[in-house]
Amino acid sequence: MRDRLKHIPPVARVILGTVLAIILLATFKPSAPTRDIVDNHARVRFVLADPQARSPQIQLFGRVQSPRAAGLTAVVTANVDSIPVRAGNRVSEGQLLIQLDDTEAALARDRAKATRDEAAAQLETTRLRYQSDKKNLALEKKLAQLSADNLERIQSLRERKLVAQTQLDEAEQAQARADLSLSQRQLSVSDFRNELARMEARLASAEAQLEQAKIDLARTTVNAPFDGTITQVSVAPGERVRPGEPLIDLFADTELEVRAQIPDRYLPAVRQGLIAGDLAASTQLEGHTLPLKLKRLAGDAADARGGIDGLFAFSHDSVKGAPTAALGRPLTITLTLPAQPQLLALPATALHGLNRLYRIDAEDHLQRVDAHIVGEAIDGDQSLLLLRADSLTGGERIMTTQLPQAIVGLPVDPQPVPGSNADTGTET
């Protein structure tokens, strides 16, 4: 045997020995201790389904605006004389905001007044000339008739060679001059109505220019068009302004509104509540709870993405003693919709995805339940989702733990949420 082993190459002997060692170790290896398999189910929390009539609430984010916000601009070219107000000041209707230098406007008014007076004088002259022309027209006719009679006599005498040709020529010239003068006088009388209309139009134009000059002079004093708050002053004393340049901005702080977008899925309920008048809304402003009222929905949805803007008005009584909301200030609105039957109030963790809950059956297995969001129930800092799940009648165990691996039939270890309607005080 040893002689045979000697004939085996060294490498082959090493491989053969290794194989034998592995076989011996596998044959005589002690068996591993065994343990009973214990189910390790996920521990989840649950509450009992309690569908009932509830009022959905939704959180909206809006900004304060005013339907009466004005940007006052210059109407005349003038220097800024004085500005007695500053941004943030509250002003009353008619209060002086900016005084412009009225020197140039006063001169323009005086020039317009002189032009008006000149036009009035020309109109009166036209009337007087007409009266004179009517009287002179009769004289012109008489002179023309006398010239015609004289020409006829001279012609008769000339035919009898009793006067020279020169006298006949002079008589014909006198007749032509008389006819021309009569024609001009007749034209002047006939054209009186047209001339009168031109003079009256010139006077009306001059009076309009005078009125415009008076208006421009009055507009050198810029007064508040309504009660409100100044938001911006765009000029300084001594600055020269021209027509159209901005002077001052203000808004009516007693007619503030909050503009907030209402998502599409809530619009049917909002429209119904707006018609019925049973919507309620409120906002928090520097520690004050201010009630709001949805007045109307925006008529233009061109800039809306996924909804339509709602216009909320502050109640007049609610702002007494409360701070004034600044224009453009962001606010969070809580809008309460009309009550709807058979709604569940569950924490957000109970909803998986956007449309499903999980019911825990009698064998502690998960079963899917279709649901959709109707709104929220907001109580202080606590917020619950209001869901509609038509397949739940009440008393079913609804999982409130957000379980990423949740599937139908998954076994779980359910525990009631402490303090909930499922908590009987027997939890260990």
pLDDT confidence of residue 199: 81
The two structure tokens encoding residue 51: 């569908």
Positive or negative torsion for Cα 230, 234, 236, 239: negative
> What backbone torsions phi and psi does residue 255 show, to the nearest 5 degrees?
-125, 40
- Spatial CA neighbour of 397 closest among 427, 417, 382: 417
Average pLDDT for the chain:
82
Rounded Cα distance, 81 and 133, in Å: 55
Rounded Cα distance, 357 and 345, in Å: 12
Q: What torsion do the CA atoms of 398, 400, 404, 406 make, to the nearest 10 degrees?
A: -10
Listed range (201-215, 239-253, 303-317, 406-420) with the worst mean pLDDT: 303-317
DSSP single-letter state for residue 32: P
| CB-CB contact of 359 with 366 (8 Å) | yes
Q: What is the pLDDT of residues 74-97, one digit of tens each?
A: 999 999 999 999 998 999 999 999
pLDDT above 80 (res 20): no
pLDDT above 80 (res 148): no
Question: Between the CA of residue 314 and those of 256, 281, 285, 291, 298, what are the distances in Å?
Answer: 7, 10, 12, 7, 17
pLDDT confidence of residue 203: 87
| CB-CB contact of 285 with 325 (8 Å) | yes
Region 98-108: what's the mean pLDDT? Answer: 92
pLDDT confidence of residue 322: 46
pLDDT confidence of residue 185: 72
pLDDT bracket for residue 22 (50, 70, 90): confident
Residue spans of beta strands (DSSP E) within 319-392: 330-336, 340-346, 356-360, 366-370, 372-379, 382-388
pLDDT confidence of residue 142: 72
Q: What is the pLDDT of residues 354-413, one digit of tens each?
A: 889 999 998 999 999 999 888 888 766 678 899 999 889 888 999 999 988 889 989 999
Q: Which residue has the higher pLDDT, 192 or 99?
A: 99
Q: What is the pLDDT of residues 25-67, one digit of tens each?
A: 777 666 655 555 445 688 999 999 999 998 888 889 999 888 8
The two structure tokens encoding residue 156: 């008769």
Rounded Cα distance, 230 and 247, in Å: 11
> What backbone torsions phi and psi does residue 18 show, to the nearest 5 degrees?
-65, -45
Q: What is the pLDDT of residues 198-241, one digit of tens each?
A: 888 888 899 999 999 999 999 999 999 999 889 899 999 999 99
Q: What is the pLDDT of residues 149-176, one digit of tens each?
A: 676 777 776 677 776 777 767 766 777 7
pLDDT confidence of residue 30: 64
- For residue 332, the one-letter residue type is T
Q: What is the pLDDT of residues 366-375, one digit of tens each?
A: 999 999 888 8
Rounded Cα distance, 204 and 257, in Å: 46
Q: Which residue has the higher pLDDT, 266 or 153?
A: 266
